[in-house]
Amino acid sequence: MDIPKNYLDALKKRSRPLRITSERQECIQRFVDKINLERVGTKFRPVIWKQINGLVAHVKMGDLYWLFKECERGDSFSKKFFGILKSARVKK
C-alpha cells in the first residue's frame, strides 16, 4: 500500500509532537503508521500509539522485528499483526 501524499503532513500537524527516544518506540511507531495506512478510507478508526504499545508490551525487541517482517509478508499488515498476537495470547 502506498503512502498518501498528505500523510506526512498530517503527522506533522498532530496536536502533540512525537517524542521518540528509543529503538522500541521507533519500532512501535512503525507498527502504528502501517496499521493506520491500511485504515484510511475504511470504517475503522486509526489506532493510537498507546493501544499498540499495550498489545506488544510483553514482546521483546528482537521479536518485534520478526513480527514486523512477518506482517509485511502477509496480504494485510493489520490482519496479520492482530492475528499473530491473538494466536499467541489465546493458546490453551
Residue 41's pLDDT band, with cuts at 50, 70 and 90, is confident
Cα atoms found within 13 Å of the Cα of residue 6, Cβ hemisphere only: 4
| Average pLDDT, integer, range 44-53 | 91
Residue 92 has pLDDT above 50, yes or no: no
User: If we measure between CA atoms, which residue out of 42, 35, 36 comes closest to residue 67?
Assistant: 35
Query: 54-89, pLDDT tens digit by residue?
Result: 999 988 999 999 999 999 998 999 999 999 988 866
Does pLDDT of 37 surpass 50?
yes
In the chain, where are the structural domains located? 7-89
Is the model's pLDDT at 6 over the cut of 80? no
Q: pTM score, two decimals?
A: 0.75
- The per-residue pLDDT for 67 is 93
Comparing CA positions, the residue from 25, 22, 20, 52 lying closest to residue 36 is: 52
pLDDT on residue 73:
92
